[in-house]
A and B are shown apart, each in its own frame.
Chain A
Amino acid sequence: MFKKLDPLLHNELRLSIMSLLISVESAEFNFLLEQTKASKGNISVQLSKLKDAGYINIEKSFRDKKPLTTCLKTQKGVEAFEAYVEAISQYLKK
């Protein structure tokens, strides 16, 4: 019996963002921009969706008077990511 893939994570950009955040303690917006090569607007939209689902936290601050957005995974996000990886492993075993 195949588990249904989490639609929130079964999206290339959102999955890329979560994969990056899983690998680090925290990441700035520019890091996500550099690594995913997506547009600022698109990343912002996907970050909001992940935040609304409780998979990530977003912290806004300033550095040298410029706004800084830092993203961190949440425990819920880690669990959802692990469940997603487990689910795709099931598909790949067949």
Chain B
Amino acid sequence: METDKTMTPEQSLQVISNMVSSAKESFAKDSGFIWIMWGWIVVIASSSQFIMLQIDMGKWSSLPWTLTILGAIYTVIYSIKEAKKVNIKTHIDEFMKYLWMGFGISIFMVIGFCKDHQELIIPMSIILYGLGTFVSGGALKFKPLMIGGFSCWIIALAAFNVEMIYQLPLIAIAVIVSYLIPGYILKSQYKKA
């Protein structure tokens, strides 16, 4: 491009339009990996705990949830690696970063400080899943996440009203609708692109 080329207003508009479209096409596509990973972590942990409680291994039944610590560490590593692959940061990237940091802190507090009200841990966690996925869905304009997120709030209402052991299948259902289904849809869209 010459530095002193005179443009008509039409040409200026065309330049702006081309560059804005081009930038939008460069936005990193979500492969769905993190959604799928977390979905399976929670399904495996909640199912394992449910089975262990049924077969009288109650003492060890919280152990499967240590998978979430590994998941959190891997999520951070993965996010940093993915960010290096693209050479732009979008407003949505920044928003999502702070949303999920806030989610992480909130869920840590729910799990850590509900010792005297353990029956609230799962329902409140499901509410937080709803918040994270509904807001992400809205920001990304991706309906499956919004539907999944909203479904979490309905499931949370049920979770408040059942025995603790039956909250475990409910949290599994919550992540299936809000993480796994949207995650696999994103994966199939990513492959097609």
Contact = CB atoms under 8 A, between A and B. Distances in A.
Interface of A: 5, 10-13, 15-16, 19-20, 22-28, 30-31, 34-36, 38, 42, 45-46, 63, 84-85, 88, 91-92
8 contacts: A15-B12, A20-B20, A24-B89, A26-B88, A26-B89, A35-B19, A38-B1, A84-B12
A28 B89 CA distance: 9
Interface stretch (B22-30, B49-57, B121-129, B166-174): B22-30
Q: How large is the interface on B (under 10, 10 to 19, 20 to 34, 35 or more residues)?
A: 20 to 34
Given A12-B15, A16-B19, A24 B1 contact: no
Interface of B: 1-5, 7, 9-13, 15-16, 18-20, 22-24, 26, 84, 87-91, 93-94
Per CB-CB distance, the 9 closest pairs between chain A and chain B, nearest first, are A19-B19, A28-B87, A23-B23, A91-B9, A31-B87, A88-B9, A25-B89, A13-B1, A19-B16
Given A12-B15, A19-B20, A84-B12, 8 more contacts: A23-B19, A23-B20, A24-B90, A25-B88, A28-B88, A31-B26, A63-B84, A92-B13
A11 B20 contact: no
Contacts of B7: 10-12, 15
Contacts of A46: 3
A41 to B, nearest CB: 11
**Most chain A Cβ neighbours within 10 Å, of B7, B9, B84:** B9
A92 B17 CA distance: 15
A22 B20 contact: yes
Contacts of B87: 27-28, 30-31, 34
A24 B15 contact: no
A88 B88 contact: no
Given A24-B90, A25-B89, A10 B12 contact: yes
Given A31-B88, A92-B10, A20 B3 contact: no
